[in-house]
Amino acid sequence: MCGIAGIFHCGIPKPVDPERVGRMSDALAHRGPDGSGVWTGPGVGLGHRRLSIIDVAGSPQPMHSADGRAMIVFNGEIYNYRELRRELASEGAQFRTDGDTEVILAAWARWGVECLPRLHGMFAFALYDAHRRELLLARDRLGVKPLFMAHLSDGSLAFASELKGLLAHPLLRREADPLAIEDYLAWGYVPDHRSILRGVEKLPAGHYRVLRHEAAPPPPVQWWDVDFTRRRSGATADLSAELLHHMRGAVTSRMVADVPLGAFLSGGVDSSSVVALMAESSRDPVKTCSIGFDVAALDETAYAEQVALRFGTDHSSRTVDPDDFSAVDRLATMFDEPFADASALPTWRVCQLAREKVTVALSGDGADEAFAGYRRQIFHAREEQARAVLPAALRRPVFGGLGAIWPKADWAPRPLRAKTTFQSLADDGAAGYARALGVVPPELRGALYTDRFAREIGGYRAEDPLMEMMRAAPARSGLDRAQYADLKFWLPGDILTKVDRTSMDVSLEAREPLLDHRLIEFAAQLPQRERIRGGQGKWLLKHTMRRYLPDDVLFRPKQGFVTPIAQWLRGPLAGEARAIATGARLARTGWFDEIRLGTIAEAHIAGRSDHSRLLWQLLMLDRSLDRLGISG
């Protein structure tokens, strides 16, 4: 795991200042505290920060190929590198190191961009081929590892693992993209098709880009997608056996490391499944860690300890104060872009705990997206059944009218939020799921904006790209499309961003075995009854893991990390909530109606309404703008 940065001149190959590349990569020192390096050539510069995991004593970067033709900087892990190394060696390739970086160089020399489907793992890398005079930028299938890019005024393209690497370049413009503000208000994060800064892009997951000197930069090319159009046949027992085979392979392949390795253990289905399979494959006790809260309703440590005892793990746990709001400013620095998933705080804390004992930790991320574990997916499947029976001509006036007059009840469980359900049923499936996935609905966003800012974003709505993605998805059912959206939109934008930044902030490598692409492709072909059955999501996964885990772990209600932001914003952060409308940087942008924001803040502080999610989003946006030096 590492941080990468670089500069490439797409026009005339001007000289690249190595000190500038060094400053960009040094801004990523937290991602790689074990080593650094810079290489420059005509029109190109590559920088690297290393966190040593494989071949600790060797494999420095930037690394050149055996024939001197190519140079690479690489962030990630290739889990099948040993198999690829044997195959390439049998065809004459020579290797000087024992790591996976040199395998990518040899694979490029042998197969060109067709090497990408052969790489099993998480990665973002930049590979410069001096013979072809071209730079390959590539990102893994599901977007576990990030890559930011910016077109600069001198004709170059700069890239880095995090936005802070680009911020170290003096030519980067710090001007907010108004469409990104609309996206952020809708989702609570800036999705991969946008950046908070104009002129900055993110290489999409499963895409590559080939840049050439004296040629305009071409758009990214997709090299992988997940296909929901096919269905597996066969008995449940056979599908369960195949699932277990994929899970075992995914877990054991991610246990290869030359440094201490462990796992996050929340006591939920996904992390417990990973720990169970790790224990099955390990001679030594698996090192596990979890955090809890001193509020019983938020605490899951009893379940984590139950699983740890069951598998004899070397378990560490720590209770943290739910009033852990002191790290708000640290989060803004960690993420650069505004990021409002409040579970980032406890995720960061568990990464800190893990780093005390290990350098690599396996997580359970990805199962909800792949196997339909989110409640919103289950509700969407039910709503799609209703849409199939009731014609749109009936649904729109009836449910649309009910949704308009029904009182809002965000405090209630989702099945009792009739307003949300009515609004969703009035729309088609894609629009309904966009509403379910969003944080601030379009009606409220529109009421928050000033007239000037509304003109700046024109007719753009943040939901439009998601709905277009769902409608064009390679899918057969509404549930397929919802899962496709979660894997392609929500997962890289929210979940993987959260885990990457919080783990890398403490120089910890997080690996996600349940995002192995072969496992994802298998899950996408499961019949719907193997995903959802009896109102239970992740049905086949839970059924398969019953041989390892007790029912009170497998079938208890999903919790996840909870942060008491509603209480914070009525208590110690009440002043911050008021400042959003009056004294903060956000108030000076001219984007939002100050009177409206003030009314919302006071209603929340007084306990008349719960506007905590919106106020938290605005607070994190304010902190991010301050960090980036943006006033509007």
Establish if 171 belongs to a structural domain: yes
Number of domains in the chain: 3
The whole-number pLDDT of residue 588 equals 86
The whole-number pLDDT of residue 322 equals 62
Residue range of the domain that includes 604: 564-631
C-alpha 20/C-alpha 557 separation (Å) is 51
pLDDT tens digit sequence for 313-344: 999 998 877 667 778 889 999 999 999 998 99
Instruction: For residues 38 and 106, state if they share a domain.
Output: yes
Establish if 439 belongs to a structural domain: no
The whole-number pLDDT of residue 359 equals 95
Instruction: For residues 95 and 117, state if they share a domain.
Output: yes
To the question of whether residue 329 is assigned a binding role by annotation, the answer is no
The residue with tokens 């054991």 is 252
Nearest Cα neighbor of 591 from 461, 496, 456, 483 is 456
To the question of whether residue 552 is assigned a binding role by annotation, the answer is no
Establish if 303 belongs to a structural domain: yes
Q: Which of 518, 550, 582 is the last residue of a domain?
A: 550
Instruction: For residues 140 and 244, state if they share a domain.
Output: no
Instruction: For residues 14 and 59, state if they share a domain.
Output: yes
Establish if 186 belongs to a structural domain: no
The whole-number pLDDT of residue 458 equals 95
pLDDT tens digit sequence for 43-63: 999 999 988 787 667 778 999
Instruction: For residues 208 and 262, state if they share a domain.
Output: no
More confident residue, 324 or 147: 147
Look up the CATH number of the domain holding residue 86: 3.60.20.10
SS3 240: helix
Helix, strand, coil shares of the chain, percent, nearest 5, are: 50, 15, 35
C-alpha 383/C-alpha 427 separation (Å) is 10
Helices and strands counted in the chain (H then E): 28, 17
Establish if 112 belongs to a structural domain: yes
Instruction: For residues 340 and 297, state if they share a domain.
Output: yes
The whole-number pLDDT of residue 567 equals 86
To the question of whether residue 565 is assigned a binding role by annotation, the answer is no
Annotated active-site residue 2? The verdict is yes
Establish if 298 belongs to a structural domain: yes
Task: Work out whether strand 287-293 and strand 314-320 pair parallel, antiparallel, or are unpaired.
Answer: parallel
More confident residue, 239 or 562: 239
Strand partners, 556: none
The whole-number pLDDT of residue 558 equals 72
Instruction: For residues 164 and 80, state if they share a domain.
Output: yes
From 2, 10, 115, 351, the catalytic residue: 2
The whole-number pLDDT of residue 85 equals 97
556 has pLDDT over 90: no
Instruction: For residues 499 and 611, state if they share a domain.
Output: no
Establish if 248 belongs to a structural domain: yes
Interval 375-399 mean pLDDT? 73
Instruction: For residues 136 and 165, state if they share a domain.
Output: yes
433 has pLDDT over 80: yes
Instruction: For residues 45 and 122, state if they share a domain.
Output: yes
**Per-position b or e across 72-107, b if 16+ CB within 10 A of its CB:** bbbbbbbbebeebbebbeeeebeeebbbbbbbbbbb
To the question of whether residue 363 is assigned a binding role by annotation, the answer is yes
Look up the CATH number of the domain holding residue 243: 3.40.50.620
Give Cβ neighbours of residue 455 (< 8 Å, ≥ 6 apart): none
Tokens describing residue 175: 């001007």
Establish if 127 belongs to a structural domain: yes
104 has pLDDT over 60: yes
The whole-number pLDDT of residue 191 equals 98
Instruction: For residues 298 and 323, state if they share a domain.
Output: yes
